[in-house]
Amino acid sequence: MYLTQPLHKAYRERPGLLALVCGERRQTFGDLYGKVRRVAGMLQEMGVGPNDRVGMLSVNSDHYIEYLYGTWWAGAVVNPVNIRWSAREVAYSLDDCDTQVLLVDDTFVELAREVQGLSSSLKTLVYVGHGTSPEGMLDYHALVAAARPAADAMRQGSDLAAVMYTGGTTGLPKGVMLTHGNLYTGQLGAIAGATRPDNAIGLHAAPMFHVGGIGLVLQLMLRLCPQIVLPGFDEVAILQAIHTERASETFLVPTMLKRVIEHPRFDEFDISSLSLVLYGAAPVDEALLERAMQALPQASFIQLYGMTELSPVITALPAWCHEPEHRTFGKLRSAGRPTPVAEVRIVDADDLELPVGEVGEIAARGPMVMAGYWNKPEQTAEALRNGWMHTGDGGYMDADGFIYVVDRIKDMIVTGGENVYSAEVENAILRMPQVSMCAVVGVPHEKWGESVHAVVVLREGATLTSDQVIEHCRTLIAGYKCPRSIDFRDALPVSAAGKILKYQLREPFWKGRSRRIN
């Protein structure tokens, strides 16, 4: 199992077929094959050896895909940098796994300079932009043009392919180590888990530094399908690309999906070619899904669920579950069934398996489970205890084997023996037009163990009392789920990726106490 295999195949089977479209640039699979060999040659000529890490700090582009495959072809390991991070965070992630070479596009030249000042490992910056190469940076295009094509290093199986940094909501980012075998089987499982149309043309809207973005790149390459690359998410650009390039398949997170179908110019474009919408990476609300299916009646929908540590997909909700004649089967609220390569079980805090319908932690086993966290043997052992990857997600399995994700385990509240899912309470509070943001956490309570506490940010000029919020919740959810206390604030602490840092909200309440999770 070697991630470079599709290039070998493409070179023989479809050298003349369009592989990548990025703005005005187009390349065939034959072109890409030649390019990747020279990118690998460039990396080797600058001293990158087997298993060395190579980073990239860039918006999406055709060069990002060249970087991924070029690094693998050279025998090295990709470290795709989170473009939403600060210089300090980027430097941490480079230093943590000793990444000495970083590719940078036009967008991040300044950030890269800052990173260089902070990082102890970074030695070489390669400019993958389209202007003049900034001082102190090597020129990607000149080097690639001059490089000798390398032979494929043929790294495979348990050889490391990627270190992907995640986290930040609970502490320092962790480098998830994914092998060639992990990413290879993960994508095959995702494809086999939910039937895809043949002869697709893929469209990238999600960022490629994220495992979801890389997953789509790999899945389309495994199927030898052309890929249209947009620099980032933009509703009109997406609609335009479908219209112009006849894209047939894309991956959208729910907020992207919402923004596309609600865009005022939606009707201006011919998007009849779009036959498959993959969605996931965040919970979708059923009303949005309904609207999307109405807005895109020619398209099938497939939900994917997973996480970086799982390469990344472990469940798929297939297209047929979305079809009107199967809707009474009632699985639209689920994240789907485990893919053919993934075992899923639900466990309690003692890692004992729970029966159908009971909420616990979602755990997964299979060839797509990460090799571990870079240089973090204890956190690795904890996450992979008893041979299963513990996702930190709370959920349950129904009698038909469908998985339902209810909350992050650590955000679940146990009050008087009842489980309360913070997401459910937050959704209730967010229905009040006065509320801009909110976060619900468990705080210690003498009698009930925990009680439900909400932190609410109001829209500018709006006013609300605690009683009004609690009264509103009572009309929507059971009494024990309603907040017992409300804290109004001007803002919530959020991570660079925009996730609310609930542990910071909980901290002052739990000082000196230990909170049992799950």
Using CB under 8 A, pick the residue from 320, 448, 509, 510 that binds its own copies: 320
Min separation Cβ 58 and its own copies, Å = 27
Q: How far is CA 253 from the centre of its chain?
A: 9
Closest C-alpha to 183, from 156, 148, 206 = 156
CA distances to 310, 369, 411 from 388, rounded to whole Å, are 11, 8, 21
Smallest gap from Cβ 15 to its own copies, in A, equals 9
Residue 516: how many CA atoms within 13 Å on its side-chain side?
10
Question: With binding defined as CB under 8 A, does residue 338 bind its own copies?
Answer: yes
Which residue of 202, 312, 318, 372 would you call a contact of its own copies, by CB under 8 A? 318
For 432-446, b/e burial (b = at least 16 CB within 10 A) is beebebbbbbbbebe
Answer for which of 26, 263, 291, 345 binds its own copies (CB under 8 A) is 345
Residue with tokens 């913070």: 422
**Cβ count within 10 A of residue 350:** 6
Stretch that binds its own copies, among 82-90, 142-150, 315-323, 477-485 (CB under 8 A): 315-323
222 sits near its own copies (criterion: CB under 8 A): yes
Least Cβ distance, residue 297 to its own copies (angstroms)? 20
- Least Å from the CB of residue 380 to its own copies: 19
Asked if the bond preceding 312 is cis, omega within 30° of 0, the reply is yes
Rounded-to-integer distance, Cα 464 and Cα 458, Å: 8
Helix H or strand E encompassing 452: strand 449-458
Stretch near its own copies under the rule CB under 8 A, chosen from 34-42, 186-194, 253-261, 430-438: 186-194
Identified binder of its own copies from the candidate list 99, 133, 166, 185, rule CB under 8 A: 185
- Tell the residue number behind the tokens 């803002």, with chain if given: 491
Contact pattern from residue 13 through residue 52 relative to its own copies, giving x for each residue in contact according to CB under 8 A and a dash for the rest: xx-x------------------------------------
Specify the residue, 2 or 421, whose C-beta has the smaller distance to its own copies: 2
Smallest distance from its own copies to CB 158, Å: 8
- Answer positive or negative: Cα dihedral of 246, 252, 257, 259: negative
Which of these ranges, 83-91, 103-111, 138-146, 337-345, lies near its own copies under the rule CB under 8 A? 337-345
Burial of 514 (0-12, 13-18, 19+ CB in 10 A): exposed
Among 126, 161, 261, 344, binds its own copies (CB under 8 A): 344
Residue number, 397 or 428, with CB nearest to its own copies: 397
Q: Dihedral of CA 309/184/147/145: which sign?
A: negative
Binding to its own copies by residue 8, rule CB under 8 A? yes
Count interface residues toward its own copies (CB under 8 A).
43
* 223 contributes a contact to its own copies by CB under 8 A: yes
The label of the residue with tokens 């870079």 reads: 374
Contact (CB, 8 A) for 97 and 374: yes
Establish if 198 lies at the interface with its own copies (CB under 8 A): yes
Per CB under 8 A, the segment of 88-96, 190-198, 288-296, 303-311 that binds its own copies is 190-198
Q: Is 191 in the site for its own copies (CB under 8 A)?
A: yes
Q: For its own copies, which is the closer residue by CB, 221 or 438?
A: 221
188 near its own copies, rule: CB under 8 A: yes
Least Cβ distance, residue 363 to its own copies (angstroms): 11
DSSP 80-123: E--TTS-HHHHHHHHHHTT--EEEE-GGGHHHHHHHHHH-SS--
Residues 223 and 244: their CA atoms lie apart, in Å, by 22
The region of 85-93, 116-124, 217-225, 443-451 touching its own copies under the rule CB under 8 A is: 217-225
Give the H/E segment covering residue 235: helix 235-245
The least CB distance from residue 338 to its own copies, in Å, is 6
User: Are the CB atoms for 379 and 173 separated by under 8 Å?
Assistant: no
Q: Which of 30, 283, 340, 444 binds its own copies (CB under 8 A)?
A: 340
What are the two backbone dihedrals, phi and then psi, of residue 510, each rounded to the nearest 5 degrees?
-105, 5
DSSP 399: T
Is 259 a binding residue for its own copies by CB under 8 A? The answer is: no
Out of 173, 306, 366, 394, the residue judged to bind its own copies by CB under 8 A = 366
Q: CB under 8 A: which stretch of 304-312, 313-321, 456-464, 496-504 binds its own copies? A: 313-321
Residue 426 to residue 335: CA distance in whole angstroms? 20
Rounded Cα–Cα distance for residues 420 and 413 (Å): 5
Least Å distance, CB 236 to its own copies, is 32
Of the pair 287, 352, the CB lying nearest its own copies is at: 352
Which part of the chain contacts its own copies (CB under 8 A), choosing from 163-171, 182-190, 260-268, 410-418? 182-190
Window 369-408: contact mask with its own copies (x via CB under 8 A): ----------------------------x-xxx-------
Residue with tokens 């009264």: 471
Provide the token pair at 262.
Answer: 């609600």
* Residue range at the interface with its own copies (CB under 8 A); choices 68-76, 121-129, 192-200, 264-272: 192-200
Can you tell me whether residue 58 is helix, strand or coil? coil
- Choose the binding region for its own copies from 193-201, 378-386, 447-455, 480-488 (rule: CB under 8 A): 193-201
DSSP assigned state of 77: E
DSSP secondary structure letters along 135-172: TT-EEHHHHHHHSPPPPP----TTSEEEEEEE--SSSS
**Binding stretches for its own copies (CB under 8 A):** 1, 5-6, 8-9, 12-14, 16, 157, 181, 184-185, 188-189, 191-192, 195-199, 222-224, 318-320, 337-338, 340-345, 365-367, 397, 399-401
